[in-house]
Copies of this chain bind each other. A is one copy, B any other.
Amino acid sequence: MTRNPDETRARLLGAAFEEIHRHGFQGASLTGILARAEVTKGAMYHHFASKQELGYAVVDEVLKARLEAAFFVPLSERENFIDGLLHTMAKSMEERGAMLADLGCPLNNLAQEMSPVDEGFRVRVDRLFGWWRDGLAEGLRRAIALGQVRGDIDPEGVALFYLAALEGCIGLAKNARSVEMHARCLGVLAEYVNGLRA
Interface residues of A (CB under 8 A from B): 22-24, 26-27, 102-104, 108-109, 111-113, 115-117, 122, 125-126, 129, 154, 156-158, 160-161, 163-169, 171-172, 174-177, 181, 184-185, 187-189, 192
* Nearest 5 Cβ contacts at the A-B interface: A168-B168, A164-B168, A161-B188, A111-B175, A165-B165
Chain B residues, Cβ within 8 Å of A166: 168
Q: Which residues of B contact A161 (CB under 8 A)?
A: 165, 169, 185, 188-189, 192
Query: With A111-B171, A163-B168, A163-B172 given, can you name 15 additional A-B contacts, CB distance below 8 Å?
Result: A112-B112, A112-B175, A113-B113, A125-B175, A129-B172, A129-B176, A154-B188, A157-B187, A161-B165, A164-B168, A164-B185, A165-B168, A168-B169, A168-B171, A171-B171
B102 touches A23 (CB 8 A): no
